[in-house]
A and B are shown apart, each in its own frame.
Chain A
Amino acid sequence: MTNIHASQLAFFAEHAPFDRMESAHLVWMVERMRLAYYAEGDVIVSPEQNTANRFLVIKQGMVHGEQNVAHAAESDTWLELAEGECFPLGALLAHRPVASIYRAGTDTFCYELPVEDFQTLLGMSAPFSDFCTRRIANLLEHSKQVIQAQYSHSSVEQQSLASPLSALIRREPITCSPQATVREVLQKMHESRIGSMVAVDEVGRPLGILTLPDVLERVALPQTDLDQAVITIMSKQLTTLSPQALAYEAALLMAKQGFRHVLVIENERLIGLVTEKDLFALQRVGLRQIGMTIRHAQHVEALQQAATDIRNMAHNMMAQGVAAEQLTQFISTFNDLLTVRVIELELARSEYNNTPFAECFCWMALGSEGRFEQTLSTDQDNAIIFTVPDGMEANQVRTQLLLIAKRINETLALCGFPLCKGEIMASNPKWCLSLDEWKQAFANWIDHGTPEALLHASIFFDFRSLFGKQELAEELREWLAKVASDNTRFLHQMAENAMRIRPPLGLVRDFVVGKENKLDLKLNGITPFVDAVRIFSLAAGVTHTSTLLRLRASAEKLKIHPSEIEAWLDAFLFIQVLRMRHHDEEKTKGMSEAALNNLIDPEQLNELDRRILKEAFRQARKLQARLSLEYHQ
């Protein structure tokens, strides 16, 4: 017979989720539990042990989770669990080893339930099972921790790039008045041993910046009058971020714009300065460094190296659990830089360099690149839009541009962007058009709504300018926003088409899988979101191209609650991350870039990811239901 003292039950009655469990279930659980003791510093569970074999509740004491598995000696605590808390839920649900070392922070007693009983209890007690598996957000949090820990071997050095800028600011910024003389400012910079000076107004708002490299260019060489007001020679193009922005965002900005300083601004006031040097300690290969390499590359070899660096950096960011939104933004930023440099180099090599002819066109990114949603294995999707200079025919211009476009496409292929199998590239005469020709083509698709037209619309309507005369792309975008939002018949056709691809949720099993039990994350996961959101944004006259911005910008017109919008976007981004992780894993296994696909076997996913994926598909269904509501025939 068993005798459980009331005080044991009293303990559980004080803590979630046990306080909501039926007492019979609680007694059932406690009867199967053991109480274990761990002296301070003892390892309780570690990744070296096999699949997590017990559910633990801290009765007394403190448990630390340590992320840095590779360097246990210098490990940092990322998780602190106290009396009444349970662990390791993620590993138990996913049937895998824990991703972190759990160590007793003080002398600790834990109640322990064998994994078999844990599973039985999940099936038996709804409050318990809810607690362990509730809400997608909660699961995503687990998932993120797991990813971070899984990758932590390779990215120890990279971890702090995810820290907020407020943590990097080391001192109050040294500032000057805009009316101070150049002489005074240089004197102060010298005395304070600082590399830059920001001029602020009476309430602390930044007006301009002077950096040491500027001194050579703006003061010494032009022999500036040292007694004039410093503001006249300062750079007024200021790069600013909020203190909550993360270090890698600053690094990304520096890379994108080539500056060495980012001003940290709160309520418009300058509160600190983050320099490239501050960030340098956080990254092995600086983002700005990759940016510089690309910007100054003279040969395709240098660009190929940069492309490799971008991929390695993306791997590291994935390891930090950087969100999909930022990750794709990072990839887009660098792919843009790289593409622009390829175009510049090819233009320079051509006979049109520095001629008005080189100024008459705009290189456009399409499809996922146009939406800023590239993964690491994305085919080229690009096109050219041009103006016809006076005295020339469109066909003449086209013939010339196609020669350059072909070289650009081929060089991009050398840098890891495979040629488009569907020939949707600027070197295809069909997609190297004047502004008028584009309008005509778009109008044609909108009027006819044939399957081919709808397919084209889904790729081309996501265009954005990448290089050259961007006014052309902007004009086309304005025109399209107006024409498409007026044409409800076309929107209906698009909606009908989009509904053909259903999220693969099954009635009997979790997922409906295709051949070889594979699930296509792109076709069945990403596409339903992208397609539906494109239609919403066209209807709302939104000119953004990214799915996130499109949906957020369309929300008001659609009268959808922001929380629902965010749930959709969470789901979309989770599938994106899953895709990228899949690519990353395949590549680590030695698969070539070209062979990467979006097919996963849901059975191979761990329990947790499978559950979230299911939830993500459910969100896709809700989005489609909304689409069908708007465009009910």
Chain B
Amino acid sequence: MSAWWLNWLGNKASLTAEQQHRLDTWKSLPRIALDKPFNATRYVVVDVETSGLNLMQDHLISIGAVAVVNGQIALGESFYMVLQQETVSHKENILLHGIGGGAQTGGVPAADALLAFLEYLGKDPLIAFHVTFDQTMIQRAIHQYLGVSFGHAWADMAYLMPAIYPSYASRYRLLDDWITHFNIHNDARHNALSDAMVTAQLFQIALSLVSKKKIADFAGLRDLEKMQRWVSGIS
């Protein structure tokens, strides 16, 4: 088993010709303009399941994603994939996300799963709650298995929501706080697809509200997020 840092230091991932072709095709997709109005943009809301919460040591188990197309969640376009694991994660971890050992080792080979995710994503902006965690996990896996760095536009609901609702900012920290507040049903919390779904619903609520504040595109969302990061930093 190769140590994670060997990959991190630049071990070239070995891809088949077909995999390399898929990766190149994705890379060659044009960048998405970030000033397109919300009702003419596709966003991908993502959530991941991992073997643990350590950003540097734990690894990616599954990716769940939901597409918000022109403000609406396209149910037929949701994405969920379990990555084939070299080792099964600890028992406590299994209990948390519910993906058993059999499912973990029986998943899709990691490179294929990640390529499928990239193809699903295209170059559309990504949305998550606590971006740092999802972003790092996905970046590391892509670097490890596909050998490229994954620089992509993200927006973080964990900062956007307090920016939109300053009065709740100090009380609500977690995804659960917000979905409870808006009474959004989630009957399978901690499943990546289910969590992506409720995050997407939260995103829809956010879009409806920021539209009334004259914020009309992704660039505006990121400005709002930056401002909130600064406010959180000093408070």
Beta-carbon nearest neighbor of A35 in chain B: B73
User: CB-CB contacts of B197-212 with A at 8 A, as 1s and 0s?
Assistant: 1001100110111000
Binds B, one of A5-13, A317-325, A511-519: A5-13
Beta-carbon nearest neighbor of A8 in chain B: B75
Across the interface, do A39 and B75 meet the contact criterion of CB distance under 8 Å? Answer: no
- CB contacts (< 8 Å) of A33 on chain B: these are 75-76
Residue in B72, B77, B186, B205 whose beta carbon sits within 8 Å of that of A39 in the complex: B205
- CB contacts (< 8 Å) of B80 on chain A: these are 3, 5
User: CB-CB contacts of B68-92 with A at 8 A, as 1s and 0s?
Assistant: 0101111111111000000000000
Across the interface, do B76 and A5 meet the contact criterion of CB distance under 8 Å? Answer: no
Across the interface, do A5 and B72 meet the contact criterion of CB distance under 8 Å? Answer: no
Given A5-B197, A109-B201, A35 contacting B75 (CB threshold 8 A): yes
Across the interface, do A2 and B78 meet the contact criterion of CB distance under 8 Å? Answer: yes
* Bound CA–CA A400/B147 (angstroms): 114
Q: With an 8 A cutoff between CB atoms, is B146 at the interface?
A: no
Residues of A95-134 contacting chain B, CB below 8 A: 107, 109, 111-112
Q: With an 8 A cutoff between CB atoms, is B188 at the interface?
A: yes
Across the interface, do B205 and A31 meet the contact criterion of CB distance under 8 Å? Answer: no
The interface size of chain A toward B, counting residues with CB under 8 Å, comes to 25
User: CB-CB contacts of A1-27 with B at 8 A, as 1s and 0s?
Assistant: 111111110100000000000000000
Q: With an 8 A cutoff between CB atoms, is B194 at the interface?
A: yes
* Bound CA–CA A308/B79 (angstroms): 66
- CB contacts (< 8 Å) of B116 on chain A: these are 1
Residues of B175-205 contacting chain A, CB below 8 A: 182-188, 191, 193-194, 197, 200-201, 204-205
Across the interface, do A60 and B184 meet the contact criterion of CB distance under 8 Å? Answer: yes
The interface size of chain B toward A, counting residues with CB under 8 Å, comes to 31
- CB contacts (< 8 Å) of A35 on chain B: these are 72-73, 75, 200-201, 204
Across the interface, do B184 and A3 meet the contact criterion of CB distance under 8 Å? Answer: no
Query: B-side binding surface: helix, strand, loop or mixed?
Result: mixed
Across the interface, do B194 and A36 meet the contact criterion of CB distance under 8 Å? Answer: no
* Bound CA–CA A34/B201 (angstroms): 12
Residue in A5, A8, A109, A111 whose beta carbon sits within 8 Å of that of B191 in the complex: A5
Shortest distance in angstroms between B206's beta carbon and chain A's nearest beta carbon?
Answer: 10
Across the interface, do A3 and B187 meet the contact criterion of CB distance under 8 Å? Answer: no
Given A3-B78, A7-B194, A39 contacting B208 (CB threshold 8 A): yes
Across the interface, do B75 and A30 meet the contact criterion of CB distance under 8 Å? Answer: yes
Q: Which residues of A contact B (CB under 8 A)?
A: 1-8, 10, 30-39, 42, 60, 107, 109, 111-112
Q: Which residues of B contact A (CB under 8 A)?
A: 64, 69, 71-80, 116, 182-188, 191, 193-194, 197, 200-201, 204-205, 207-209
Ranked 3 nearest A-B pairs via Cβ? A31-B76, A37-B204, A35-B73
Please list 29 pairs of residues, one from A and one from B, whose beta carbons are closer than 8 Å in the complex, sorted by A's number. A1-B116, A2-B77, A3-B80, A4-B75, A4-B78, A5-B188, A5-B193, A7-B186, A7-B188, A8-B197, A31-B75, A32-B75, A33-B75, A34-B73, A34-B74, A35-B73, A35-B75, A35-B200, A36-B72, A37-B201, A37-B204, A38-B208, A39-B209, A42-B208, A60-B184, A107-B182, A109-B201, A109-B204, A112-B72
